[in-house]
Amino acid sequence: MSPPAYSDIQKSSNDLLNKDFFHLATAAIDVKSTAPNGVAFTVKGKTAKDNSIAANVEAKYADKASGLTLTQGWNNANVLDTKIELSELLTPGLKSELITSVIPNGARNAKLNFFYQQNAVNARLFFDLLKGPNAIADLAVGHDGFTAGAELGYDISSAKVNRYSLGVGYAKPLYTVAATATNNLTVFSAAYYHKVSPLVEAGAKATWDSVKSNAVGVEFATKYKLDSTAFVKAKIADSGLTALAYSQELRPGVKLGLGASFDALKLAEPVHKLGFSLSFTA
């Protein structure tokens, strides 16, 4: 089994701390369905901070025989997103993808990415073809639960390294620990995740930005599985931010999410948020 990608060294704790907190959007809905010919459709919509609505429709078709996957999206900002993926390119474990983003009579973006995975190696290479052009490469190697990784950004036009990061982690079935140094080794973070029991998960993360402050930011989250269809989550940070989430599968293919966040240091001020999400899958 290949190690996690460099950006996923802290994935277990990051997911526990950040996913499913439905207050991040006041309201969100997504609908997923698959046509008889195998084309998968996804429609998403959510409210933004300025009370505008962001919506997107996406169609995805995968040809397993050739390893080709085509995804086409269109959102209400009139952005056309296209992704072409090809797996098992030239050698086993190598995958490529071309991602384009076009606004008619407006901005255009194009990225070419490569992914390579083997038992002890997970390598990725990202090219931004129209900006810079820039390249970002990361590599993770693993052995017996240990993972070490690094990331490097390179501006091709100026022939300069513009970003670099390091990370290390250790994973077992019931817990993971990881530490990273990002933003050119100026932001340091350490995280852990623990599956306490089949019903309870816990995790925490500490972050120190050596450029902005001497203070260390700490946040803690826990998840409790009520039954096979529902769970609750809670998160608290040393900044005073407290968040709660509840997810319930109402029936097969229909899921409701409720969330709220409170600033414990500003309880009398109108800074608290409530939100919900609905997800339909057919």
Stretch 37-49: mean pLDDT: 90
Mean pLDDT (the chain) is 93
Domain positions in the chain: 6-281
Reported as a pLDDT band with limits 50, 70 and 90, residue 245 is: very high
Confidence of residue 66 (pLDDT cuts 50, 70, 90): confident
- What number is the average pLDDT over the span 247-253? 94
Residue pair 8/15 in contact by the 8 Å Cβ criterion: no
Phi-psi sector, 69: left (phi>0), alpha (psi -120 to 50), beta: beta
Q: How far is CA 97 from CA 113, 155, 202, in A?
A: 5, 20, 35
Query: What mean pLDDT is predicted for residues 30-39?
Result: 93
105 band by pLDDT with thresholds 50, 70 and 90: confident
Indicate the pTM of the whole model: 0.87
pLDDT at position 124: 97
Alpha-carbon torsion angle 276, 243, 230, 11, nearest 10: 110
Beta strands in 103-210 (DSSP E): 108-118, 121-128, 134-143, 146-155, 160-172, 175-182, 187-195, 200-209
Question: Mean pLDDT lowest for which of 84-98, 223-237, 267-281?
Answer: 267-281
pLDDT tens across 187-208, in order? 999 999 999 999 999 999 999 9
Average pLDDT over residues 129-156: 94
d(CA 132, CA 126): 13
Topology adopted by domain 6-281: Porin (2.40.160)
- For residue 49, the model assigns a pLDDT of 72
Spatial distance between the Cα atoms of 27 and 47, rounded to a whole number of angstroms: 6
Query: Tell me, what's the pLDDT at 157?
Result: 87
| Cβ–Cβ under 8 Å, residues 23 and 276 | no
Query: Residue 68, Cβ neighbours under 10 Å: how many?
Result: 13
Residue 21, token pair as written in the block: 């907190």
* 197 phi and psi angles, rounded to 5 deg: -155, 175
